[in-house]
Structure 1
Amino acid sequence: MVDRLEQAELDAIWNFDDPVASADRFAAAAAEPHRPELVRAELETQRARALGLQRRYDEADALLDLLGPATDTLGVRVLLERGRLRNSAGRAAEATALFEDALDAARREGETFLAVDAAHMLAISDPERSERWTAEAFDLLSGTSDPRTLRWSVALHNNRGWRLFEEGTPVSALAEFEAAVDAARAYGTDEQRFASEWTVARCLRELGRIHDAERIVRALADERPEDEAVAAELAALTDATHTIEP
């Protein structure tokens, strides 16, 4: 009998595009009587997260209250999900304090995956120290060889890239977006790879490298002809300004 929640099972249950169905699946999984109590409780933290994605913040908090006082890995998950609820509700300072506690607790428990999750969330909730938290997440990743944990590098490079893009430094952003593509090809899902390649094309357009961008986007369009973001990017490229770069 598995006495802890495996990330592979979470991946199979989660559909972030459909939090309602995800919440139902987590509730059903947590109700299965053969599961150890700790695993059922961890599943409930994910149901709380799915409720939060529906903006049902009070219900999610009440559900997390039922799991306390939580310690060990469960405690880390409760801190993370409370932080996500606060961040989604626009209470960034409270979220940051919870994510810092989650990061410290995950480090103590040797939970690298959850520690990276906490650092990644800190980079979002605490934008003034975003680079510090992102660097800390990458430092954590440098100590693991687990492919599923290394998948975090896709989001970390992507988020850093968009921050640089929005700060008006697209050359630096492009390097991060390209690193996200490499990470997605090595460790990520096909959806992450597709999205990362689209992002590279978007940045190339910003730099005026229209031919390079169009080559990527047309390949993506061949792969998914009905994708609206790809179609929109192709349309934008037809009116974009070229540079003299090849």
Structure 2
Amino acid sequence: MIDFDKLWDYNHADESERKFRRVLMEVQNTADLNYISELLTQIARALGLQRKFDEAHEILDQVESNLVDTKPKTQIRYLLERGRVLNSSARQEEALPLFVEAWELGGESGEDALAVDAAHMLGIAETTPELRMDWNMLALEYAEQHPNASRWLGALYNNIGWAQVEAGNLPEALDLFERALQFRQGQGREDLIFIAKWSIAKVLRLMKQTSRALEMQQLLLTEVEQGVEPDGYVYEEIGECLYALDRRVEASPYFSKAYELLSLDQWLTSNEPDRIARLKEL
């Protein structure tokens, strides 16, 4: 059977959805219930990332109708994806118990990577910074102790890093992002290496090491311009660096480009309207 996890491209959820549906067409008469159910959960996840929440829930309802006959791994995937769709649609209170159940079932059944996935989602969805940090640290400890979950370390360094930024602990955040970069370089994932470098540069700006941050972001912009897709976050950070250095005329076109790109992001416009408004103004 095709390993559908390897088909994921989280930056292009629509294309991932099409891939999963093609696989489903190919195996629907030959694969067992667990495989088909798990594949359906990933279609639902792809729909959720496109903010097609009603369609995602309809797919998950199909999975739920046969859940009692499936293995723990399938049940955990269902809990995770139902929780993710709820969380993404601002229904965190409904999502939290599903993530907790997935965490517990993952640990009990030895599905270590899925258990860490659940804990990391609790580190995103919980209601207070303290609870989010507790879950992130628990996920990190678990991933460090269970080799089958070690692939989560890069994401956890990243998530805990941003939690430290939120708490104002910038040196701690910088250390975590540098650890994330080292981990990503070991993986050889250029897209994730890019994100780690961007995160380091942003924290350096917040720590008033603006010239160094600007230099890093300009190197990332060179990568962006050599690729096929522009990155609004890089333009935003270059604008912020130039603005902080009192080079506001130079900053303006970068803010303009950042606004052009990031104003198309539905999540940002819904959750960080002040950020989008600032880009437009600057």
**TM-score for the superposition, normalised by structure 2:** 0.75
Return the match for 1:10 from 2, 5, 10: 5
The 1:136/1:218 distance shift into structure 2, 3 A limit, reads same
Q: Give the structure 2 partner of residue 73 of structure 1.
A: 73
On the 8 A contact 1:30/1:41 being kept in 2, the answer is no
CA distance in 2 between partners of 1:88 and 1:223 (Å): 30
User: AA paired with 1:62?
Assistant: E
CA distance in 1 between partners of 2:210 and 2:154 (Å): 24
CA distance in 2 between partners of 1:142 and 1:212 (Å): 32
SS in structure 1 of the partner of residue 10 of structure 2: coil
Structure with more helix by fraction: 2
C-alpha displacement of 1:39: 1.5
CA distance in 2 between partners of 1:210 and 1:82 (Å): 42
Q: Give the structure 1 partner of residue 37 of structure 2.
A: 41
The 1:18/1:84 distance shift into structure 2, 3 A limit, reads same
- CA RMSD across the alignment: 2.2
Deviations along 1:148-205, one digit per CA (max 9) or x if unpaired, are x423222212122222212323222222222221221123621111011011011101
Q: Give the structure 1 partner of residue 83 of structure 2.
A: 83
C-alpha displacement of 1:227: 4.2
231-240 or 117-126: bigger deviation: 231-240
Q: Give the structure 2 partner of residue 232 of structure 1.
A: 236
C-alpha displacement of 1:26: 1.0
82-91 or 61-70: bigger deviation: 61-70
Q: Give the structure 2 partner of residue 59 of structure 1.
A: 55
CA distance in 1 between partners of 2:17 and 2:102 (Å): 23
CA distance in 1 between partners of 2:207 and 2:215 (Å): 15
Is 1:25–2:27 an aligned residue pair? no
Deviations along 1:130-153, one digit per CA (max 9) or x if unpaired, are 12111111122122335xx42322
133-142 or 230-239: bigger deviation: 230-239
C-alpha displacement of 1:100: 0.2
User: AA paired with 2:23?
Assistant: A
CA distance in 2 between partners of 1:89 and 1:109 (Å): 29
On the 8 A contact 1:45/1:78 being kept in 2, the answer is yes
Structure 2 residues without counterparts, runs of 5 or longer: 247-282
User: AA paired with 2:237?
Assistant: E
The 1:173/1:241 distance shift into structure 2, 3 A limit, reads farther
